[in-house]
Amino acid sequence: MVTTQTPTAPSVLLDAAAEQTRLALMAEAERLSLALRWAQAHPAPVTDAVVDELGDLIMYADQPATLAGEGAPGMSEFAVAEFATACGLSTYQGRALIGAALEAHHRLPKLWKRAMAGDVAVWKVRRVTEQTHRLPPGAAAEVDSALAPVIGTCSYAQIERAVAAAAARVDDEHEEMERLDRWQQQHLEIRLDAAALNGGLVPVSGLLDYVDAVALEARLKTGAALLGETHPELDLDIRRAMAAGRLGATGDAVSREIVVYTHHEPDQTHDILDVEGTHGRLGHTTIEQIAGWCQLAGTKVTIKPVLELDSEISVDRYEPSAQQREQTILTCPTCVFPSCSKSARGCDLDHITAYAHGGKTTSWNLAPLCRYHHRLKTFGHWTYTRLARTRFEWTSPSGKHYLVDLTHKRRRTR
Protein backbone atom coordinates (compact mmCIF):
# COMPACT_ATOMS: atom_id res chain seq x y z
CA MET A 1 0.00 0.00 0.00
CA VAL A 2 1.30 3.46 -0.92
CA THR A 3 1.21 5.89 1.96
CA THR A 4 1.20 9.69 1.86
CA GLN A 5 3.25 11.37 4.56
CA THR A 6 4.10 14.91 5.58
CA PRO A 7 6.99 16.67 3.79
CA THR A 8 10.44 15.33 4.67
CA ALA A 9 13.98 16.61 4.16
CA PRO A 10 15.27 16.04 0.57
CA SER A 11 18.16 13.86 1.73
CA VAL A 12 15.78 11.54 3.57
CA LEU A 13 13.53 11.26 0.50
CA LEU A 14 16.50 10.48 -1.75
CA ASP A 15 17.81 7.84 0.64
CA ALA A 16 14.35 6.27 0.81
CA ALA A 17 14.06 6.25 -3.00
CA ALA A 18 17.46 4.59 -3.32
CA GLU A 19 16.50 1.97 -0.74
CA GLN A 20 13.22 1.20 -2.50
CA THR A 21 15.10 0.85 -5.80
CA ARG A 22 17.46 -1.63 -4.14
CA LEU A 23 14.53 -3.56 -2.71
CA ALA A 24 12.85 -3.66 -6.13
CA LEU A 25 16.04 -5.06 -7.69
CA MET A 26 16.27 -7.74 -5.02
CA ALA A 27 12.58 -8.58 -5.33
CA GLU A 28 12.94 -9.15 -9.09
CA ALA A 29 16.08 -11.23 -8.47
CA GLU A 30 14.21 -13.33 -5.92
CA ARG A 31 11.34 -13.90 -8.35
CA LEU A 32 13.85 -15.05 -11.00
CA SER A 33 15.37 -17.38 -8.41
CA LEU A 34 11.91 -18.75 -7.59
CA ALA A 35 11.30 -19.37 -11.28
CA LEU A 36 14.50 -21.45 -11.40
CA ARG A 37 13.54 -23.39 -8.29
CA TRP A 38 10.06 -24.06 -9.67
CA ALA A 39 11.58 -25.47 -12.87
CA GLN A 40 13.97 -27.63 -10.83
CA ALA A 41 11.04 -28.94 -8.78
CA HIS A 42 9.13 -29.87 -11.95
CA PRO A 43 11.55 -31.69 -14.28
CA ALA A 44 10.59 -32.71 -17.79
CA PRO A 45 8.32 -35.78 -17.73
CA VAL A 46 9.40 -38.97 -19.44
CA THR A 47 6.83 -39.60 -22.16
CA ASP A 48 6.46 -41.94 -25.08
CA ALA A 49 5.99 -40.07 -28.35
CA VAL A 50 2.59 -40.63 -29.91
CA VAL A 51 2.21 -39.94 -33.63
CA ASP A 52 -0.75 -40.09 -35.98
CA GLU A 53 -0.92 -41.86 -39.33
CA LEU A 54 0.91 -38.95 -41.00
CA GLY A 55 3.77 -39.11 -38.52
CA ASP A 56 2.85 -35.84 -36.77
CA LEU A 57 3.39 -35.67 -33.02
CA ILE A 58 0.20 -35.76 -31.01
CA MET A 59 0.40 -33.92 -27.68
CA TYR A 60 -2.27 -34.53 -25.10
CA ALA A 61 -0.84 -35.01 -21.61
CA ASP A 62 2.12 -33.20 -20.03
CA GLN A 63 5.13 -32.84 -22.33
CA PRO A 64 8.80 -31.89 -21.85
CA ALA A 65 9.32 -28.15 -22.41
CA THR A 66 12.68 -26.81 -23.58
CA LEU A 67 12.80 -23.18 -22.47
CA ALA A 68 16.53 -22.41 -22.63
CA GLY A 69 19.57 -23.21 -24.73
CA GLU A 70 21.69 -26.34 -25.11
CA GLY A 71 22.87 -27.68 -21.77
CA ALA A 72 19.99 -26.27 -19.72
CA PRO A 73 17.46 -28.83 -18.46
CA GLY A 74 13.89 -29.01 -19.65
CA MET A 75 10.84 -28.97 -17.42
CA SER A 76 7.18 -29.96 -17.24
CA GLU A 77 5.13 -28.03 -19.79
CA PHE A 78 2.04 -28.04 -17.58
CA ALA A 79 3.96 -26.72 -14.55
CA VAL A 80 4.66 -23.46 -16.40
CA ALA A 81 1.01 -22.37 -16.23
CA GLU A 82 0.73 -22.69 -12.45
CA PHE A 83 3.80 -20.56 -11.77
CA ALA A 84 2.76 -17.96 -14.35
CA THR A 85 -0.75 -17.69 -12.90
CA ALA A 86 0.62 -17.25 -9.37
CA CYS A 87 2.74 -14.36 -10.71
CA GLY A 88 -0.23 -12.77 -12.48
CA LEU A 89 1.34 -13.51 -15.87
CA SER A 90 0.02 -15.17 -18.98
CA THR A 91 1.39 -18.63 -19.72
CA TYR A 92 3.49 -17.16 -22.55
CA GLN A 93 5.01 -14.58 -20.18
CA GLY A 94 5.62 -17.29 -17.60
CA ARG A 95 7.50 -19.40 -20.16
CA ALA A 96 9.73 -16.43 -20.94
CA LEU A 97 10.47 -15.75 -17.27
CA ILE A 98 11.30 -19.37 -16.42
CA GLY A 99 13.30 -19.73 -19.62
CA ALA A 100 15.38 -16.67 -18.70
CA ALA A 101 16.07 -18.15 -15.26
CA LEU A 102 17.20 -21.48 -16.72
CA GLU A 103 19.31 -19.79 -19.40
CA ALA A 104 21.05 -17.44 -16.99
CA HIS A 105 21.68 -19.98 -14.24
CA HIS A 106 22.95 -22.82 -16.42
CA ARG A 107 24.62 -20.98 -19.31
CA LEU A 108 25.43 -17.47 -18.04
CA PRO A 109 26.60 -18.08 -14.46
CA LYS A 110 28.53 -14.81 -14.11
CA LEU A 111 25.49 -12.75 -15.10
CA TRP A 112 23.30 -14.89 -12.87
CA LYS A 113 25.56 -14.19 -9.89
CA ARG A 114 25.43 -10.42 -10.49
CA ALA A 115 21.64 -10.49 -10.80
CA MET A 116 21.23 -12.49 -7.59
CA ALA A 117 23.46 -10.00 -5.77
CA GLY A 118 21.30 -7.10 -6.93
CA ASP A 119 24.20 -5.58 -8.87
CA VAL A 120 22.31 -5.56 -12.17
CA ALA A 121 18.62 -5.35 -13.02
CA VAL A 122 16.93 -8.61 -14.01
CA TRP A 123 15.49 -7.00 -17.13
CA LYS A 124 19.02 -6.43 -18.46
CA VAL A 125 19.97 -10.05 -17.85
CA ARG A 126 16.80 -11.10 -19.67
CA ARG A 127 17.84 -8.97 -22.65
CA VAL A 128 20.96 -11.12 -22.84
CA THR A 129 19.10 -14.43 -22.45
CA GLU A 130 16.79 -13.45 -25.31
CA GLN A 131 19.86 -13.35 -27.53
CA THR A 132 21.89 -16.28 -26.21
CA HIS A 133 19.41 -19.15 -26.01
CA ARG A 134 20.09 -20.02 -29.68
CA LEU A 135 23.88 -20.11 -29.21
CA PRO A 136 26.02 -23.19 -28.59
CA PRO A 137 27.37 -23.48 -25.01
CA GLY A 138 30.82 -22.12 -25.90
CA ALA A 139 29.41 -18.97 -27.45
CA ALA A 140 27.08 -18.44 -24.50
CA ALA A 141 30.08 -18.68 -22.17
CA GLU A 142 31.92 -16.09 -24.31
CA VAL A 143 29.00 -13.69 -23.99
CA ASP A 144 28.82 -14.29 -20.25
CA SER A 145 32.51 -13.45 -19.77
CA ALA A 146 32.35 -10.41 -22.05
CA LEU A 147 29.21 -8.81 -20.63
CA ALA A 148 29.24 -9.70 -16.95
CA PRO A 149 31.78 -6.97 -15.97
CA VAL A 150 30.03 -4.21 -17.99
CA ILE A 151 26.36 -5.25 -18.17
CA GLY A 152 25.28 -2.39 -15.93
CA THR A 153 26.20 0.18 -18.59
CA CYS A 154 25.45 -1.84 -21.75
CA SER A 155 22.78 -0.76 -24.22
CA TYR A 156 20.63 -3.29 -26.03
CA ALA A 157 22.63 -2.70 -29.23
CA GLN A 158 25.88 -3.47 -27.39
CA ILE A 159 24.37 -6.70 -26.08
CA GLU A 160 23.41 -7.75 -29.60
CA ARG A 161 26.90 -6.97 -30.91
CA ALA A 162 28.55 -8.94 -28.10
CA VAL A 163 26.34 -11.95 -28.81
CA ALA A 164 27.10 -11.81 -32.55
CA ALA A 165 30.85 -11.47 -31.99
CA ALA A 166 30.98 -14.35 -29.51
CA ALA A 167 29.05 -16.62 -31.84
CA ALA A 168 31.37 -15.80 -34.74
CA ARG A 169 34.49 -16.58 -32.70
CA VAL A 170 33.22 -19.91 -31.43
CA ASP A 171 31.44 -21.20 -34.53
CA ASP A 172 33.38 -21.29 -37.84
CA GLU A 173 30.12 -21.74 -39.74
CA HIS A 174 28.49 -18.82 -37.98
CA GLU A 175 28.15 -16.58 -41.04
CA GLU A 176 26.46 -19.25 -43.12
CA MET A 177 24.14 -20.11 -40.27
CA GLU A 178 23.35 -16.43 -39.90
CA ARG A 179 22.49 -16.22 -43.59
CA LEU A 180 20.19 -19.21 -43.33
CA ASP A 181 18.68 -17.77 -40.17
CA ARG A 182 17.99 -14.47 -41.92
CA TRP A 183 16.34 -16.30 -44.82
CA GLN A 184 14.15 -18.21 -42.39
CA GLN A 185 13.04 -14.94 -40.83
CA GLN A 186 10.77 -14.24 -43.79
CA HIS A 187 7.28 -13.50 -42.60
CA LEU A 188 4.25 -11.40 -43.41
CA GLU A 189 2.21 -10.31 -40.41
CA ILE A 190 -1.30 -8.92 -40.71
CA ARG A 191 -2.18 -7.64 -37.23
CA LEU A 192 -5.94 -8.06 -37.23
CA ASP A 193 -5.83 -8.06 -33.43
CA ALA A 194 -4.44 -4.51 -33.44
CA ALA A 195 -7.26 -2.98 -35.47
CA ALA A 196 -8.89 -1.59 -32.32
CA LEU A 197 -5.75 0.45 -31.60
CA ASN A 198 -5.82 2.05 -35.06
CA GLY A 199 -9.47 2.92 -35.57
CA GLY A 200 -10.20 -0.11 -37.76
CA LEU A 201 -6.95 0.10 -39.74
CA VAL A 202 -4.79 -3.03 -39.64
CA PRO A 203 -0.96 -2.83 -39.36
CA VAL A 204 0.88 -4.98 -41.91
CA SER A 205 4.59 -5.71 -41.62
CA GLY A 206 7.10 -8.36 -42.57
CA LEU A 207 10.29 -9.43 -44.28
CA LEU A 208 10.25 -10.84 -47.81
CA ASP A 209 12.89 -12.37 -50.03
CA TYR A 210 14.08 -9.74 -52.51
CA VAL A 211 12.62 -11.50 -55.56
CA ASP A 212 9.23 -11.92 -53.87
CA ALA A 213 9.28 -8.29 -52.77
CA VAL A 214 9.94 -7.11 -56.33
CA ALA A 215 7.01 -9.21 -57.59
CA LEU A 216 4.70 -7.83 -54.90
CA GLU A 217 5.75 -4.26 -55.67
CA ALA A 218 4.91 -4.78 -59.33
CA ARG A 219 1.45 -6.11 -58.44
CA LEU A 220 0.76 -3.17 -56.14
CA LYS A 221 1.87 -0.65 -58.78
CA THR A 222 -0.46 -2.22 -61.33
CA GLY A 223 -3.37 -2.39 -58.89
CA ALA A 224 -2.88 1.21 -57.73
CA ALA A 225 -2.81 2.40 -61.36
CA LEU A 226 -6.09 0.61 -62.13
CA LEU A 227 -7.73 2.08 -59.05
CA GLY A 228 -6.53 5.51 -60.16
CA GLU A 229 -8.81 5.23 -63.20
CA THR A 230 -11.91 4.77 -61.04
CA HIS A 231 -10.80 6.70 -57.94
CA PRO A 232 -8.58 9.55 -59.20
CA GLU A 233 -9.30 11.57 -56.04
CA LEU A 234 -7.46 9.07 -53.81
CA ASP A 235 -3.79 9.44 -52.85
CA LEU A 236 -1.33 6.90 -54.17
CA ASP A 237 -0.68 5.44 -50.71
CA ILE A 238 -4.39 4.79 -50.21
CA ARG A 239 -4.70 3.15 -53.62
CA ARG A 240 -1.68 0.93 -52.92
CA ALA A 241 -3.24 -0.18 -49.64
CA MET A 242 -6.54 -0.93 -51.38
CA ALA A 243 -4.70 -2.81 -54.14
CA ALA A 244 -3.10 -5.07 -51.51
CA GLY A 245 -6.57 -6.02 -50.30
CA ARG A 246 -7.57 -6.98 -53.83
CA LEU A 247 -4.66 -9.30 -54.56
CA GLY A 248 -5.99 -12.53 -55.97
CA ALA A 249 -9.29 -11.12 -57.21
CA THR A 250 -10.34 -12.42 -60.63
CA GLY A 251 -13.12 -11.10 -62.82
CA ASP A 252 -16.44 -10.62 -61.07
CA ALA A 253 -15.83 -13.36 -58.51
CA VAL A 254 -16.47 -12.49 -54.89
CA SER A 255 -13.04 -11.98 -53.34
CA ARG A 256 -13.95 -10.23 -50.09
CA GLU A 257 -16.06 -11.94 -47.46
CA ILE A 258 -15.68 -9.99 -44.25
CA VAL A 259 -17.65 -10.92 -41.16
CA VAL A 260 -18.11 -8.02 -38.74
CA TYR A 261 -20.40 -7.54 -35.77
CA THR A 262 -21.69 -4.07 -35.07
CA HIS A 263 -22.91 -3.32 -31.54
CA HIS A 264 -25.27 -0.40 -31.09
CA GLU A 265 -27.67 0.26 -28.22
CA PRO A 266 -31.24 1.19 -29.21
CA ASP A 267 -31.14 4.29 -26.99
CA GLN A 268 -27.94 5.63 -28.57
CA THR A 269 -28.59 8.59 -30.85
CA HIS A 270 -25.07 8.85 -32.33
CA ASP A 271 -23.76 7.02 -35.39
CA ILE A 272 -20.70 5.48 -33.73
CA LEU A 273 -20.63 1.68 -33.69
CA ASP A 274 -18.51 -0.74 -31.68
CA VAL A 275 -17.20 -3.21 -34.25
CA GLU A 276 -15.86 -6.74 -33.86
CA GLY A 277 -14.32 -8.89 -36.60
CA THR A 278 -13.71 -12.62 -36.80
CA HIS A 279 -10.20 -12.06 -35.37
CA GLY A 280 -11.14 -9.77 -32.51
CA ARG A 281 -12.32 -6.29 -31.71
CA LEU A 282 -11.86 -3.61 -34.39
CA GLY A 283 -12.74 -0.64 -32.20
CA HIS A 284 -15.21 2.11 -33.02
CA THR A 285 -16.25 3.34 -36.43
CA THR A 286 -19.16 5.10 -38.11
CA ILE A 287 -22.21 3.77 -39.91
CA GLU A 288 -20.82 5.44 -43.05
CA GLN A 289 -17.61 3.39 -42.80
CA ILE A 290 -19.58 0.14 -42.48
CA ALA A 291 -21.63 1.14 -45.51
CA GLY A 292 -18.43 1.85 -47.43
CA TRP A 293 -17.07 -1.62 -46.67
CA CYS A 294 -20.30 -3.21 -47.86
CA GLN A 295 -20.37 -1.23 -51.12
CA LEU A 296 -16.87 -2.14 -52.31
CA ALA A 297 -16.86 -4.19 -55.51
CA GLY A 298 -16.49 -7.91 -54.95
CA THR A 299 -17.63 -7.78 -51.33
CA LYS A 300 -20.13 -10.36 -50.09
CA VAL A 301 -22.62 -8.99 -47.56
CA THR A 302 -24.43 -11.38 -45.20
CA ILE A 303 -26.96 -10.29 -42.61
CA LYS A 304 -27.18 -12.51 -39.54
CA PRO A 305 -29.73 -12.37 -36.72
CA VAL A 306 -28.87 -10.94 -33.31
CA LEU A 307 -28.19 -13.55 -30.63
CA GLU A 308 -29.60 -13.34 -27.12
CA LEU A 309 -26.53 -14.01 -24.99
CA ASP A 310 -28.43 -14.91 -21.82
CA SER A 311 -30.66 -17.51 -23.46
CA GLU A 312 -29.96 -21.16 -22.70
CA ILE A 313 -29.36 -23.14 -25.89
CA SER A 314 -29.12 -26.95 -25.67
CA VAL A 315 -28.39 -29.71 -28.16
CA ASP A 316 -28.61 -33.42 -27.55
CA ARG A 317 -25.11 -34.27 -28.78
CA TYR A 318 -21.45 -33.67 -27.95
CA GLU A 319 -20.68 -31.19 -30.78
CA PRO A 320 -22.01 -27.67 -30.05
CA SER A 321 -24.21 -26.06 -32.67
CA ALA A 322 -23.03 -23.08 -34.73
CA GLN A 323 -25.42 -20.88 -32.74
CA GLN A 324 -23.95 -22.09 -29.45
CA ARG A 325 -20.42 -21.42 -30.67
CA GLU A 326 -21.32 -17.88 -31.72
CA GLN A 327 -23.15 -17.21 -28.45
CA THR A 328 -20.19 -18.51 -26.41
CA ILE A 329 -17.68 -16.38 -28.34
CA LEU A 330 -19.74 -13.21 -27.96
CA THR A 331 -20.25 -13.90 -24.25
CA CYS A 332 -16.57 -14.65 -23.54
CA PRO A 333 -14.47 -13.20 -26.40
CA THR A 334 -11.20 -14.68 -25.05
CA CYS A 335 -9.97 -17.92 -23.51
CA VAL A 336 -11.35 -18.05 -19.95
CA PHE A 337 -8.09 -19.25 -18.32
CA PRO A 338 -6.50 -16.67 -15.98
CA SER A 339 -4.52 -13.98 -17.86
CA CYS A 340 -5.02 -15.62 -21.26
CA SER A 341 -6.05 -13.17 -23.97
CA LYS A 342 -6.25 -15.47 -26.99
CA SER A 343 -9.31 -14.71 -29.10
CA ALA A 344 -12.16 -17.13 -28.53
CA ARG A 345 -12.54 -17.50 -32.29
CA GLY A 346 -9.34 -19.54 -32.32
CA CYS A 347 -10.25 -21.55 -29.22
CA ASP A 348 -11.87 -24.91 -28.54
CA LEU A 349 -15.33 -24.97 -26.97
CA ASP A 350 -14.87 -26.83 -23.70
CA HIS A 351 -17.53 -28.69 -21.76
CA ILE A 352 -16.90 -27.30 -18.25
CA THR A 353 -18.32 -30.50 -16.81
CA ALA A 354 -17.02 -33.18 -19.17
CA TYR A 355 -19.59 -34.65 -21.55
CA ALA A 356 -18.37 -38.13 -20.63
CA HIS A 357 -19.10 -37.36 -16.96
CA GLY A 358 -22.67 -36.21 -17.49
CA GLY A 359 -22.04 -32.65 -18.67
CA LYS A 360 -24.58 -31.44 -21.22
CA THR A 361 -23.98 -29.42 -24.37
CA THR A 362 -25.71 -26.33 -23.05
CA SER A 363 -24.81 -22.66 -23.09
CA TRP A 364 -24.04 -22.71 -19.33
CA ASN A 365 -21.67 -25.67 -19.71
CA LEU A 366 -19.62 -24.28 -22.64
CA ALA A 367 -16.63 -21.95 -22.47
CA PRO A 368 -13.76 -21.10 -24.84
CA LEU A 369 -10.31 -22.48 -24.01
CA CYS A 370 -7.22 -22.15 -26.18
CA ARG A 371 -5.70 -25.51 -27.10
CA TYR A 372 -2.93 -25.37 -24.46
CA HIS A 373 -5.27 -24.48 -21.60
CA HIS A 374 -7.81 -27.02 -22.86
CA ARG A 375 -5.11 -29.70 -22.56
CA LEU A 376 -4.18 -28.31 -19.15
CA LYS A 377 -7.75 -28.63 -17.92
CA THR A 378 -8.24 -32.11 -19.41
CA PHE A 379 -4.91 -33.66 -18.44
CA GLY A 380 -3.20 -31.23 -16.04
CA HIS A 381 -5.47 -31.42 -12.96
CA TRP A 382 -6.82 -27.88 -13.29
CA THR A 383 -10.56 -27.51 -12.70
CA TYR A 384 -12.97 -24.63 -13.01
CA THR A 385 -16.56 -23.77 -12.33
CA ARG A 386 -18.82 -21.14 -13.80
CA LEU A 387 -20.08 -18.54 -11.31
CA ALA A 388 -21.94 -16.38 -13.82
CA ARG A 389 -22.10 -15.99 -17.59
CA THR A 390 -18.74 -14.22 -17.64
CA ARG A 391 -17.22 -15.20 -14.27
CA PHE A 392 -15.24 -18.36 -13.50
CA GLU A 393 -13.26 -19.79 -10.60
CA TRP A 394 -10.21 -21.91 -11.42
CA THR A 395 -8.47 -24.30 -9.01
CA SER A 396 -4.83 -25.20 -9.68
CA PRO A 397 -3.23 -28.59 -8.97
CA SER A 398 -1.82 -27.06 -5.76
CA GLY A 399 -5.29 -26.01 -4.61
CA LYS A 400 -4.88 -22.28 -5.32
CA HIS A 401 -8.03 -20.46 -6.46
CA TYR A 402 -8.14 -17.81 -9.20
CA LEU A 403 -11.15 -15.72 -10.22
CA VAL A 404 -11.61 -14.74 -13.85
CA ASP A 405 -14.13 -12.02 -14.74
CA LEU A 406 -14.68 -11.31 -18.43
CA THR A 407 -17.72 -9.08 -17.92
CA HIS A 408 -15.93 -6.08 -19.44
CA LYS A 409 -15.21 -8.11 -22.59
CA ARG A 410 -18.75 -9.38 -23.09
CA ARG A 411 -20.29 -8.21 -26.36
CA ARG A 412 -23.51 -6.23 -26.28
CA THR A 413 -25.98 -7.49 -28.86
CA ARG A 414 -29.03 -5.41 -28.09
DSSP code string of 283-318: EEEEHHHHHHHHHSTTEE----PPP-TTS--EESSS
pLDDT value for 153: 86
pLDDT band at 152 (very low <50, low <70, confident <90, very high): confident
CA atoms within 13 A on the CB side of 234: 16
Name the average pLDDT for the chain. 83
Based on the number of CB atoms within 10 Å of its own CB, is 108 exposed (0-12), middle (13-18) or buried (19 or more)?
Answer: buried
pLDDT confidence of 214, banded at 50, 70, 90? Answer: confident
Per-residue pLDDT reduced to its tens digit, 308-325? 888 899 999 999 999 999
Lowest-pLDDT range of 119-123, 191-195, 249-253, 347-351: 249-253
Question: Is 246 a residue whose pLDDT tops 70?
Answer: yes
Of the segments 164-168, 280-284, 362-366, which one has the largest average pLDDT value? Answer: 362-366
Residue ranges of domains in the chain: 10-175, 192-300, 314-409
Q: Which residue has the higher pLDDT, 311 or 251?
A: 311
Of 164-168, 307-311, 364-368, the range with the highest mean pLDDT is 364-368
Inform me whether the pLDDT recorded for 265 exceeds 70: no
- Residue pair 28/346 in contact (Cβ under 8 Å)? The answer is no
C-alpha closest to that of 370 among 352, 344, 403, 395: 344
Q: How confident is the model at residue 156 (pLDDT cuts 50, 70, 90)?
A: confident
Q: How confident is the model at residue 365 (pLDDT cuts 50, 70, 90)?
A: very high
CB atoms within 10 A of CB 376: 24
∠107-112-118 over CA atoms, to 5°?
170
State the sign of the Cα–Cα–Cα–Cα dihedral 184, 186, 188, 191: positive
Is the pLDDT at 396 greater than 80? The verdict is yes
Q: Using the 8-state DSSP alphabet, how is residue 358 labeled?
A: T
> Under a CB-based contact definition with an 8 Å cutoff, are residues 106 and 99 in contact?
no
Does the pLDDT of residue 257 top 60, yes or no?
no
What is the model's pLDDT at position 285? 66
Q: What pLDDT score does 414 carry?
A: 45
What percentage of residues in the chain have a pLDDT greater than 70? 76
How do residues 56-80 score in pLDDT, each as one tens digit? 655 678 889 999 999 999 999 999 9
- What does the pLDDT read at residue 135? 87
Helix (H) or strand (E) holding 125: helix 122-132
Closest CA relative to residue 390, chosen from 320, 331, 325, 313: 331
Other beta carbons within 10 Å of 221: 14
Q: What's the DSSP call for residue 119?
A: S
- Overall average pLDDT of the 231-256 stretch: 75
The pLDDT of 335-360, averaged and rounded, is 93
Segment 100-127 shows an average pLDDT of 95
Provide the pLDDT for residue 100: 97
pLDDT digits (tens, 9 = 90+) for 269-288: 556 666 655 555 555 666 67
